[in-house]
A and B are shown apart, each in its own frame.
Chain A
Amino acid sequence: MKMAIESLFAVIVAALVLGAPLGRYMARVYAGDTFWVTRFLGPIERLIYSLSGVRQNDEMDWKRYAVALLTFNFFGMLFLYGLLLWQGDLPLNPAHFSAVTHALAFNTAASFVTNTNWQAYGGESTMSYLSQMLGLTVQNFLSAATGIVIVLALIRGIVRAKTRHVGNFWVDMTRTVLYVLLPLSVVLAIVLMEQGAPQTLSPYVHAHLIAPFTSGKARIAAQTIALGPVASQEAIKQLGNNGGGFFNANSAHPFENPTAFTDYLQMVAMILIPTALVFMFGRMVGDRRQSGTIIAAMLILFVPLALASMRADLANNPLLRGLGIARSHSTLYDGGGNVVGVEDRFGVANSALFGSLATATSTGAANSAYDSFMPLSGLVNLCFMQLGETVFGGVGTGLATMLAFVIFAVFIGGLMIGRTPEYLGKKIESFEIKMVSLSILIMPLLVLIGTSVAVDFAAGRAGTFNPGPHGFSEILYAFTSTANNNGSAFGGLSADTTFYNVATGLCILFGRYWSYLPLLALAGALANKQKLPANAGTLGAHGPLFMGLLIGVILLVGALNFFPALGLGPIAEQLSHVHVLAHAR
Chain B
Amino acid sequence: MKGNVTTTPSRLAWGRLSKEAAVDSFRKLTLRHQLRNPVMFVVYVGAWLVLALFVRDLVSGSGGQSSFTGSVDAWLWFTLLFANFSESLAEGQGKAQAASLRQARHEVSAKRLQQAARNSPFEVVAGAALRSGDYVLVEAGDIMPSDGEAVIGVAAVDESAITGESAPVIREGGGDRSAVTGGTQVLSDWLIVRITAAAGDTFLDRMIKMVEGASRRKTPNEIALGILLVVLTLVFLVVTITLFPFSWYGVHYAAHNGRVVGITVLVALLVCLIPTTIGALLPAIGIAGIMRLLRANVVATSGRAIEAAGDVDVLFLDKTGTITYGNRQAAAFYAAEGVPLPRLVACARHASLADGTPEGKSIVALAETQYGMQGLGQQEAGTLIPFSADTRMSGVDVAGRRIRKGAPDAIRAWISNLGGDWPAGLGEVIEQIASGGATPLVVCEDEDVLGLVELKDIVKGGIKERFAALRKMGIRTVMVTGDNPLTARAIATEAGVDDFLAEAKPEAKLARIQEYHSRGHMVAMTGDGTNDAPALAQADVALCMASGTQAAREAANMVDLDSNPTKLLEIVGIGKQLLMTRGSLTTFSVANDVAKYFAIIPAAFVGTYPALAALNVMDLSSPRHAILAAVIFNAVVIPLLIPLALRGVRYKAASAKELLRRNIWIYGVGGIVAPFVGIKLIDLLLTSM
> Does any Cβ of A come within 8 Å of B575's Cβ?
yes
Residues from chain B with Cβ under 8 Å of A560 in the complex:
235-236, 239, 273, 590, 593-594, 597
User: What distance in Å separates the Cβ of B63 from its nearest Cβ neighbour in chain A?
Assistant: 29
> Does any Cβ of A come within 8 Å of B663's Cβ?
yes
User: What distance in Å separates the Cβ of A465 from its nearest Cβ neighbour in chain B?
Assistant: 13
| A:518-575 near B, CB below 8 Å | 530-533, 535-540, 543, 545-546, 548-549, 552, 556, 559-561, 563-565, 567-568, 571-572, 575
> Does any Cβ of A come within 8 Å of B456's Cβ?
no
User: What distance in Å separates the Cβ of B473 from its nearest Cβ neighbour in chain A?
Assistant: 4
User: What distance in Å separates the Cβ of B258 from its nearest Cβ neighbour in chain A?
Assistant: 11
- Which of B474, B580, B601 touches A415 (beta carbons < 8 Å)? B580
A536→B470 CA distance, assembly (Å): 9
Which of B254, B476, B520 counts the most chain A CB atoms within 10 A?
A: B254
User: What distance in Å separates the Cβ of B593 from its nearest Cβ neighbour in chain A?
Assistant: 6
A149→B344 CA distance, assembly (Å): 81
Residues from chain A with Cβ under 8 Å of B476 in the complex:
535
> Does any Cβ of B come within 8 Å of A396's Cβ?
no
| B:219-260 near A, CB below 8 Å | 220-221, 223-225, 227-228, 231, 234-236, 238-250, 253-255
Q: Is the CB of A433 within 8 A of B227?
A: yes
Residues from chain B with Cβ under 8 Å of A425 in the complex:
520
User: What distance in Å separates the Cβ of A423 from its nearest Cβ neighbour in chain B?
Assistant: 13
Q: Is the CB of B250 within 8 A of A568?
A: yes
A239→B339 CA distance, assembly (Å): 91
A418→B475 CA distance, assembly (Å): 13
Q: Is the CB of B307 within 8 A of A545?
A: no
Interface size of A by CB at 8 A reads 65
Minimum CB distance partner of A574 in chain B: B611
Residues from chain A with Cβ under 8 Å of B220 in the complex:
420, 429-430
User: What distance in Å separates the Cβ of A456 from its nearest Cβ neighbour in chain B?
Assistant: 5
- Which of B253, B609, B660 touches A539 (beta carbons < 8 Å)? B660
Q: Is the CB of A564 within 8 A of B239?
A: yes
- Which of A416, A445, A565 touches B584 (beta carbons < 8 Å)? A416
Residues from chain B with Cβ under 8 Å of A531 in the complex:
520
> Does any Cβ of B come within 8 Å of A208's Cβ?
no
A467→B249 CA distance, assembly (Å): 11
Residues from chain B with Cβ under 8 Å of A538 in the complex:
474, 656
> Does any Cβ of B come within 8 Å of A494's Cβ?
no
Residues from chain A with Cβ under 8 Å of B577 in the complex:
418
Residues from chain A with Cβ under 8 Å of B221 in the complex:
415, 420, 429
Number of A-B contacts (CB under 8 A): 219
User: What distance in Å separates the Cβ of A21 from its nearest Cβ neighbour in chain B?
Assistant: 32
Q: Is the CB of B471 within 8 A of A452?
A: no
> Does any Cβ of A come within 8 Å of B612's Cβ?
yes
> Does any Cβ of A come within 8 Å of B651's Cβ?
yes
> Does any Cβ of B come within 8 Å of A195's Cβ?
no
- Which of B224, B254, B311, B575 touches A411 (beta carbons < 8 Å)? B224
User: What distance in Å separates the Cβ of B174 from its nearest Cβ neighbour in chain A?
Assistant: 41
User: What distance in Å separates the Cβ of B173 from its nearest Cβ neighbour in chain A?
Assistant: 43
> Does any Cβ of A come within 8 Å of B22's Cβ?
no
Minimum CB distance partner of B471 in chain A: A536
> Does any Cβ of A come within 8 Å of B504's Cβ?
no
User: What distance in Å separates the Cβ of B241 from its nearest Cβ neighbour in chain A?
Assistant: 8
- Encoded as 1 (CB less than 8 Å from any A CB) or 0, chain B from 495 to 529 comes to 00000000000000000000000011100000000
- Encoded as 1 (CB less than 8 Å from any B CB) or 0, chain A from 444 to 464 comes to 110011011101100001000
> Does any Cβ of B come within 8 Å of A468's Cβ?
yes
A548→B243 CA distance, assembly (Å): 31
Q: Is the CB of A533 within 8 A of B249?
A: no
| B:411-425 near A, CB below 8 Å | none
Q: Is the CB of A441 within 8 A of B231?
A: yes
> Does any Cβ of A come within 8 Å of B582's Cβ?
yes
> Does any Cβ of B come within 8 Å of A579's Cβ?
yes
User: What distance in Å separates the Cβ of B57 from its nearest Cβ neighbour in chain A?
Assistant: 25
Residues from chain B with Cβ under 8 Å of A545 in the complex:
657, 660-661, 664
A575→B606 CA distance, assembly (Å): 12
Chain B contact residues, CB within 8 Å of chain A: 220-221, 223-225, 227-228, 231, 234-236, 238-250, 253-255, 273, 307, 310-311, 313, 471-476, 519-521, 575-580, 582-584, 586-587, 590-591, 593-594, 597, 601-602, 605, 608-612, 614-615, 651, 655-657, 659-661, 663-664, 667-668
Name 8 interchain pairs, CB-CB below 8 A, sorted by A: A417-B576, A418-B577, A530-B520, A556-B590, A560-B235, A560-B236, A563-B601, A568-B250
Given pairs A456-B249, A533-B521, A560-B235, 5 additional interface contacts (CB within 8 A): A415-B583, A564-B239, A565-B243, A572-B255, A572-B605
